[in-house]
């Protein structure tokens, strides 16, 4: 009898200890991470990949401002040569704005104007002295940027540049496109499905088709003579690389080719966003 009683007491004791060690986690609402010094971080820590930290880019404010002005006066005090730049200047409220401003600032920093050659040419026509502004007109340049596109996470600016070379006016376009998330300036290969190896040949073929369809058929017959020359082909290929001049507008990707020489003509082609064979998905 005593033996059976002892067994019963031992069983009751075991059940009591077991029920006391049960923990109820239902009251915990927040999971906690406990630091374990001996944990092998290299093999056991989870890896996180963040594709986008923000769903929408921050819209930055800017103004088109006169960022550079320089002039050379003639003997009578009249401006003979003038250089003038109007560029976007962003409010530097973020690192993104500072990056974009630095790109435009470097454009000004790289300007090198020399006026000596103009001043040396004061004699004309058998030694008679004239002021060049009266014979050829003023010299210099005017550059002015405007925003052409602000969608798909980018700002795309176009500058219209006129260069006055004493009687001859050269018109030149330049584009700058920036990622709104990072401030990075994009290359054309960031927008088009092209590589450094194939971009020149592909854009040359696109260029010829576009010129034939939108220039020659519209009556600009001089382009027909231009595009058949070897010099023109070389010029287009040379300007169709990864540093091609481009910008974005509502109708597509605009690519600009400056005139080949004084007798040539500038040209511009447009690749619509609907060209899924060429335009990257982010810009379609």
What domains are there in the chain, each with its CATH number? Answer: 57-186 (3.30.565.40), 187-284 (3.90.640)
Q: How far apart are CA 138 and CA 217, in angstroms?
A: 36
Least confident of 106-110, 201-205, 268-272, 273-277: 106-110
Phi, psi dihedral angles at 97 (to 5 degrees): -60, -40
Least confident of 55-59, 123-127, 248-252: 123-127
pLDDT of residue 166: 62
Q: Are strands 168-179 and 245-249 parallel, antiparallel or unpaired?
A: unpaired
Q: Report whether pLDDT(92) > 80.
A: yes
Separation between Cα atoms, residue 68 and residue 52, nearest integer Å: 37
The stretch 83-102 carries a mean pLDDT of 94
CB 244 within 8 A of CB 255: yes
- Give the model's confidence band at 81: pLDDT under 50 very low, under 70 low, under 90 confident, else very high: confident
What's the confidence (pLDDT) of residue 283? Answer: 95
Establish how many alpha carbons lie within 13 A of residue 73's alpha carbon, considering only the half-sphere containing its beta carbon. 4
Query: Considering the chain, what is the average pLDDT of its residues?
Result: 74
pLDDT band at 162 (very low <50, low <70, confident <90, very high): confident
pLDDT digits (tens, 9 = 90+) for 215-242: 777 777 667 777 778 888 888 899 999 9
pLDDT of residue 202: 95
Q: Is the pLDDT of residue 101 over 80?
A: yes
- 44: pLDDT strictly greater than 60: no
- Per the model's pLDDT, the better-predicted residue between 50 and 245 turns out to be 245
Please give the full DSSP string across the chain, using - where no structure is assigned. -HHHHHHHHHHHHHHHHHHHT----TT--S------TT--HHHHS-----S-S-SSPPPPPEEEEEEEEEEEE-TTS-EEEEEEEEEEEE--SSHHHHHHHHHHHHHHHT-----HHHHH--B-STT-B--HHHHT--EEEEEEEEEEE--TTEEEEEEEEEEEETTEEEEEEEEEEEETTT-PBPPGGGTBS--TTTHHHHHHHHHHHHHIIIIITTT-THHHHHHTSHHHHHHHHHTSSTT-EEEEETTEEEEEE--SSTTS--EEEEE-TT-TTTB-GGG-
| Residue 167 scores a pLDDT above 50 | yes
Q: Are 278 and 193 in contact (CB under 8 A)?
A: yes
Q: Residue 211: CA atoms inside 13 Å, Cβ hemisphere, count?
A: 25
- What does the pLDDT read at residue 279? 97
- Least confident interval from 30-39, 94-103, 151-160, 222-231: 30-39
Q: How confident is the model at residue 190 (pLDDT cuts 50, 70, 90)?
A: very high
Report pLDDT for 138. 56
Does 165 have pLDDT greater than 50? yes
Question: Which pLDDT tens digit goes with each residue over 253-284?
Answer: 999 988 765 555 668 899 999 999 999 999 99
Which of 25-29, 150-154, 163-167, 171-175 is predicted least confidently?
25-29
Average pLDDT over residues 138-160: 90
Q: What is the mean pLDDT of residues 115-126?
A: 44
- From 17-26, 159-168, 231-240, the region with the lowest mean pLDDT: 17-26
The answer to whether residue 16 scores a pLDDT higher than 60 is: no
């Amino acid at each position: 009898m005593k033996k059976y009683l002892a067994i019963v007491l031992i069983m009751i004791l075991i059940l009591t200890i077991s029920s006391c060690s049960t923990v109820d986690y239902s009251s915990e609402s927040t999971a906690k991470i406990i630091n374990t010094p001996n944990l092998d971080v290299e093999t056991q820590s989870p890896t996180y990949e963040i594709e986008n930290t923000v769903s929408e880019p921050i819209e930055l404010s800017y103004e088109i401002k006169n960022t550079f002005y320089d002039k050379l006066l003639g003997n009578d005090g009249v401006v003979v040569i003038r250089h003038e730049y109007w560029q976007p200047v962003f409010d530097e409220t973020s690192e993104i704005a500072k990056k974009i401003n630095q790109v435009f600032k470097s454009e000004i920093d790289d300007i090198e104007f020399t006026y000596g050659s103009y001043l040396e040419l004061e004699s004309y026509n058998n030694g008679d002295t004239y002021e060049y502004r009266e014979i050829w007109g003023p010299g210099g340049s005017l550059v002015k940027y405007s925003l052409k596109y602000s969608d798909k996470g980018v700002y795309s600016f176009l500058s219209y540049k006129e260069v006055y070379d004493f009687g001859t006016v050269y018109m030149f376009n330049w584009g700058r496109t920036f990622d709104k998330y990072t401030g990075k300036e994009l290359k054309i290969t960031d927008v088009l499905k092209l590589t450094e190896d194939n971009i020149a040949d592909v854009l040359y073929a696109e260029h010829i088709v576009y010129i034939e369809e939108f220039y020659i058929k519209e009556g600009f017959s001089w382009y027909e003579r231009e595009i058949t020359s070897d010099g023109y082909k070389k010029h287009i290929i040379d300007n169709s690389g990864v540093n091609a001049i481009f910008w974005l507008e509502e109708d597509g990707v605009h690519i600009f080719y400056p005139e080949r020489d004084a007798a040539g003509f500038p040209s511009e082609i447009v690749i619509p966003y609907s060209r899924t064979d060429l335009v990257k998905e982010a810009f379609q």
